[in-house]
Structure 1
Amino acid sequence: MAETPARKIATVALVVADYDEAIAWYTQKLGFRLVQDVDLGGGKRWVTVSPTAGAGPHLLLARADGDEQRSRIGNQTGGRVFLFLETDDFSRDHEAMLARSVEFREEPRREAYGTVAVFADLYGNLWDLIEPRR
């Protein structure tokens, strides 16, 4: 059998209204790190944030360009949970996020796969904060 190439999902694009407000929200409310902020000219930037200091996946904060993209801000998945923020300590992160006024849409619940609660980002995209069952 042929060797499988080393591949991974490294970056996921999130359509935002404004680079700076999105950077502020993700770094201040969720405690993400600003990884890159590169001026591409013409008002465009390559802005990535990450929840970890390591080599995990990045979130590309992509400013909407035009009416079609602006119409997708906050609803990239038709109202479904879009992204999953995994933690090793649900209570710690849930409390910290509540203290920073992150809007949770439900109370924490225990599922077969772990402890989870849905929250909304600054544009209304839905996320799961999840501590997987070990």
Structure 2
Amino acid sequence: MIKLSGAQVWVHDQNEALAFYTEKLGMELRQDVTVPEMGDFRWLTVGLPGQETEVVLMAIPGPPMIDEAVREEIRALMAKGFAQTLFLTTGDCQKSYEELTARGVEFTEEPEERPYGVDAGFRDPSGNSFRLTQALPVESA
């Protein structure tokens, strides 16, 4: 069986991202490895306690991996919140919204009733978009 082990988000500053994901979102540090033979490449991952899936906090590489034009395109998409979106689920969107707000997370959209449940949105310091959703129960046929 294939399992999803992780997802990657581009970040402007890995230290700032690590602080946001651990201190504000409540994730835990999983891996922080520097690889000297790859120009001090830093492999940095976090994850939610009790879950195996990791989020890779990837610094935007430069040449020769990515040329400067592509690097700027990634930065532009991040600034608009369109580089990627992470989806988080919760049993109580309003309560999670209040807890995250108290930790300093700035929401772009407050919890709102939707056809699929209650949904809210926020962004990380690099501009990555998050959806926080309390899904309606699935009805069986």
TM-score band, normalised by shorter chain: 0.7 to 0.9
Paired letter, 2:58: A
Aligned to 1:103: 106
Per the normalisation by structure 2, the TM-score is: 0.79
Structure 2: runs of 5+ lacking an equivalent: 63-67
Instruction: After the TM superposition, list the runs of 4 or more consecutive aligned residues in structure 1 that deviate by more than 6 angstroms.
Output: none
Counterparts in 2 of 1:79 and 1:122: CA distance versus 1, 3 Å: closer
1:84-124, Cα deviation, whole Å (9 max, x unpaired): 11112222211111112212112211112111011111111
Please give the secondary structure, in 2, of the residue aligned with 1:130. strand
Aligned to 1:46: 43
Task: Using the TM superposition, give the Cα deviation of residue 72 of structure 1 relative to its aligned residue in structure 2, in angstroms.
Answer: 1.5
Structure 1: runs of 5+ lacking an equivalent: 1-5
Conserved? CA contact 1:11–1:59, under 8 Å? yes
Paired letter, 2:74: R
Per the normalisation by structure 1, the TM-score is: 0.83
Alignment partners' CA distance in 2, 1:31 and 1:113: 25
Pairing of 1:51-66 with structure 2 (within 5 A)? 51-55=48-52, 57-66=53-62
Give yes or no for the alignment of 1:23 onto 2:23.
no
Conserved? CA contact 2:93–2:120, under 8 Å? no
Paired letter, 1:94: Y
Task: Using the TM superposition, give the Cα deviation of residue 43 of structure 1 relative to its aligned residue in structure 2, in angstroms.
Answer: 2.0
Total equivalences in the alignment: 128
Counterparts in 2 of 1:83 and 1:74: CA distance versus 1, 3 Å: farther
Task: Using the TM superposition, give the Cα deviation of residue 75 of structure 1 relative to its aligned residue in structure 2, in angstroms.
Answer: 2.8
Give yes or no for the alignment of 1:36 onto 2:31.
yes
Structure in which a larger fraction of residues adopt helix:
2
Alignment partners' CA distance in 1, 2:56 and 2:125: 15
